[in-house]
Chains A and B, each alone.
Chain A
Amino acid sequence: MSIEVSQIVKTFGSFKALDGVSLSVETGELIALLGPSGSGKTTLLRIIAGLETPDSGEILFYGEDARDKKIKDRQVGFVFQHYALFRHMTVFDNIAFGLRVKPKHMRPSETRIKEKVNELLKLIQLDWVGNRYPSQLSGGQRQRIALARALAIEPKVLLLDEPFGSLDAQVRKELRQWLRRFHDDLHITSLFVTHDQEEALEVADRIVVMNKGKVEQVGTPQEVYHKPASVFVLNFLGNVNLFKGRMVDGKPANLYIRPHQFDVARHSQGDNAIKATIKYMNPAGSSVKLDLLSESGNSLQVEITQQEFAKLQLVKGEEVFVCPKDITFCEYEI
């Protein structure tokens, strides 16, 4: 189901959580709402679910006005940040809940419910926990069960609120990939909220970067990383070096250059080369991260490949020349 959200405004007391947010989601997309705390991303998600009501603005599901639809009529599956599993019910009963509370004429038979729940347990690879209680399971397992519970009602849209927020780093990585593969199989329109840019970049079809209740940019991971629309997006996704007070086309500007956009050499490569001393090296990882202090006293973050590093045989404390190959963002001074 496609979702169209238009000029949503939401205030809590004196705090403006959403200031005219518009968004368009195609059927089957996996969208990330990315932003720092207070950016409004969870509020937007809850408004789409119907858990909050916007002060003004439109919400359309498949072109139909969804604003007056009650939560239970929206066919939205919601996965809460802290799972919100029913602690007094077994895993089986948790997943079956949505099916069992359907009005009599729509309710499937107990046999059918049992089939469906077992199917879902298999799907999330937890077919053996049916009789356990949530408190007996790990965080990662609970998360998958919360997902299965939401899927049981065959929602048209899946909404996930910081689904991996409370999990260990390793579990988070695994579940991230799992979610991506899962979505590829099922193709349900999905939105998930995260403050982790790595997660958004890895998982989403498109990312909606939000800040202070407004949408900063909407684009594929490629687009928001390499072609940020504003300084905020630039800073939020990945590291960046700032060069203030440069002249570009005769106008004063600030230049933003990402760490991987530099060449490192022992001799100056031209006018743009910067002399700098290597203060710290971190060769552990897929690329080598260098912390340098330039002649003028600025610190620089540069990333080079392991091959380049091996060729150069860099040593801590060495003086090298660092030359930008490209600029990610140019901010003209007004």
Chain B
Amino acid sequence: MILLKQKTNLPGFHLSLGYTMLYLSLVVLIPLSMLFVKTSTMSFAEFWSVVTAPRTLAAYRLSFGAAFIASFINVFFGFLIAWVLSRYRFPGKKLVDALIDFPFALPTAVAGIALTTLYASNGILGSVLAKIGIQSAYNALGVVLALMFIGLPFIVRTIEPVLQELDPELEEAASSLGAGRWEIFRRIIFPAILPSIVTGFSLAFARTIGEYGSVVFIAGNMPGKTEIAPLLIITKLEEFDYSGATAIALVMLLVSFLLLALTNWAQWWTSKKVGMN
């Protein structure tokens, strides 16, 4: 077979590849292609008017904006948590480490109602914030808070292994040459983990852009103000506006792919910059 570069003569290549391709096509490729098929039935003018309608733009602003802010904040705290987990010892560390994945394992709807209850003005944290005049539910802030919950594991789990793989001898060498801890961090550790920070951010960002279940309860869902893009898609579907829904979805998909490409490029660029080829 022309495809096979053939390293070994293990059996089952054609069978497993064939089955894989078949399943992949049926379950993923064909359904996904529907987005493009449907969009092609629209004229470009139609497409453009849906995608640039004020309501749509507001939804994009909220979904993308909140995702960006949440992921950005999580970079700092996620890094801190990864640092503390890989370098320090403290009671309950193993438990904490295991629970980092909790937002990832928890179904989004459960996360959604729990977060809303937490940040509503009568909730445990919400009431505290209300006292200083901050409303943390049914608005954009609520969405950001929810996405911070969702995105954290992506960042921590991306940075942690890189931190753990750092060669201790590099730091010891720097120390013997007279560098202080902050210097060591700035010049040796940080450049080494920068690519993983970028990757973690992108993963969190990509995941939280299209997030639905965990934010639809806390968002407020007022069209043009606190409506997230996925909800807008559902609303269009309920109005039987398939084309509108698809157009909005397609833009989101394209942004995701763009993001993926950007991530790969950024990773490559930062790796080069810090000389880690």
Q: Could you tell me the distance in whole angstroms from the C-beta of A76 to the nearest C-beta in chain B?
A: 13
The 8 A CB mask of A110-123 against B (1 = contact, 0 = none) is: 00000000000000
Q: Is the CB of A51 within 8 A of B8?
A: yes
Q: Does B6 contact A (CB under 8 A)?
A: yes
B contact face: mostly helix, strand, loop, or mixed: loop
Interface residue ranges of B4-23 to A (CB < 8 Å): 5-6, 8-9
Q: Is the CB of B6 within 8 A of A53?
A: yes
Beta-carbon nearest neighbor of B8 in chain A: A51
How far, in whole Å, are A179 and B96 apart by their CA atoms in the complex?
A: 55
How far, in whole Å, are A71 and B11 apart by their CA atoms in the complex?
A: 10
Q: Could you tell me the distance in whole angstroms from the C-beta of A253 to the nearest C-beta in chain B?
A: 45
- Contact residues in A for B5 (Cβ distance below 8 Å): 13
Q: Could you tell me the distance in whole angstroms from the C-beta of A8 to the nearest C-beta in chain B?
A: 15
Q: Does A35 contact B (CB under 8 A)?
A: no
The 8 A CB mask of A198-232 against B (1 = contact, 0 = none) is: 00000000000000000000000000000000000
Q: Does A52 contact B (CB under 8 A)?
A: yes
Interface residue ranges of A32-77 to B (CB < 8 Å): 50-53, 71
- Contact residues in A for B8 (Cβ distance below 8 Å): 51-52
Of B5, B6, B8, B9, which is in contact with the most chain A CB atoms at under 10 Å from its CB? B9
Beta-carbon nearest neighbor of A53 in chain B: B9
- Contact residues in B for A71 (Cβ distance below 8 Å): 9
- Contact residues in B for A51 (Cβ distance below 8 Å): 8-9
How far, in whole Å, are A301 and B9 apart by their CA atoms in the complex?
A: 47
- Contact residues in A for B9 (Cβ distance below 8 Å): 50-53, 71
Beta-carbon nearest neighbor of A13 in chain B: B5
- Contact residues in B for A53 (Cβ distance below 8 Å): 6, 9
How far, in whole Å, are A50 and B5 apart by their CA atoms in the complex?
A: 16
Q: Could you tell me the distance in whole angstroms from the C-beta of A281 to the nearest C-beta in chain B?
A: 39
How far, in whole Å, are A50 and B8 apart by their CA atoms in the complex?
A: 9
- Contact residues in B for A52 (Cβ distance below 8 Å): 6, 8-9
How far, in whole Å, are A71 and B6 apart by their CA atoms in the complex?
A: 15
Interface residue ranges of B106-164 to A (CB < 8 Å): none
How far, in whole Å, are A51 and B6 apart by their CA atoms in the complex?
A: 10
- Contact residues in B for A50 (Cβ distance below 8 Å): 9
Q: Could you tell me the distance in whole angstroms from the C-beta of B252 to the nearest C-beta in chain A?
A: 40
Beta-carbon nearest neighbor of B9 in chain A: A51
- Contact residues in A for B6 (Cβ distance below 8 Å): 52-53
How far, in whole Å, are A50 and B11 apart by their CA atoms in the complex?
A: 12
Q: Could you tell me the distance in whole angstroms from the C-beta of A10 to the nearest C-beta in chain B?
A: 11
Q: Could you tell me the distance in whole angstroms from the C-beta of A330 to the nearest C-beta in chain B?
A: 44
Q: Could you tell me the distance in whole angstroms from the C-beta of A68 to the nearest C-beta in chain B?
A: 12
How far, in whole Å, are A71 and B5 apart by their CA atoms in the complex?
A: 19
Q: Could you tell me the distance in whole angstroms from the C-beta of B172 to the nearest C-beta in chain A?
A: 31
Q: Could you tell me the distance in whole angstroms from the C-beta of B199 to the nearest C-beta in chain A?
A: 30
How far, in whole Å, are A239 and B16 apart by their CA atoms in the complex?
A: 52
The 8 A CB mask of A56-100 against B (1 = contact, 0 = none) is: 000000000000000100000000000000000000000000000
Q: Could you tell me the distance in whole angstroms from the C-beta of B54 to the nearest C-beta in chain A?
A: 56
Q: Could you tell me the distance in whole angstroms from the C-beta of B2 to the nearest C-beta in chain A?
A: 14
How far, in whole Å, are A310 and B66 apart by their CA atoms in the complex?
A: 89
The 8 A CB mask of B8-50 against A (1 = contact, 0 = none) is: 1100000000000000000000000000000000000000000
How far, in whole Å, are A249 and B6 apart by their CA atoms in the complex?
A: 53
How far, in whole Å, are A53 and B8 apart by their CA atoms in the complex?
A: 9
Q: Could you tell me the distance in whole angstroms from the C-beta of B23 to the nearest C-beta in chain A?
A: 28
Q: Could you tell me the distance in whole angstroms from the C-beta of B5 to the nearest C-beta in chain A?
A: 8
How far, in whole Å, are A53 and B6 apart by their CA atoms in the complex?
A: 9
Beta-carbon nearest neighbor of B5 in chain A: A13
How far, in whole Å, are A50 and B9 apart by their CA atoms in the complex?
A: 8
How far, in whole Å, are A53 and B1 apart by their CA atoms in the complex?
A: 13
How far, in whole Å, are A298 and B6 apart by their CA atoms in the complex?
A: 49
How far, in whole Å, are A307 and B5 apart by their CA atoms in the complex?
A: 60
Beta-carbon nearest neighbor of B6 in chain A: A53
Beta-carbon nearest neighbor of A49 in chain B: B9
A contact set with B: CB distance below 8 Å? 13, 50-53, 71
Apart from A50-B9, A52-B6, A53-B6, 7 more pairs, CB < 8 Å: A13-B5, A51-B8, A51-B9, A52-B8, A52-B9, A53-B9, A71-B9
Q: Provide 10 A-B residue pairs closer than 8 Å at the C-beta atoms, listed in order of the A residue.
A: A13-B5, A50-B9, A51-B8, A51-B9, A52-B6, A52-B8, A52-B9, A53-B6, A53-B9, A71-B9
B contact set with A: CB distance below 8 Å? 5-6, 8-9
Q: Ordered nearest first, which 7 A-B pairs have the shortest CB separation?
A: A51-B9, A71-B9, A51-B8, A50-B9, A52-B9, A53-B9, A53-B6
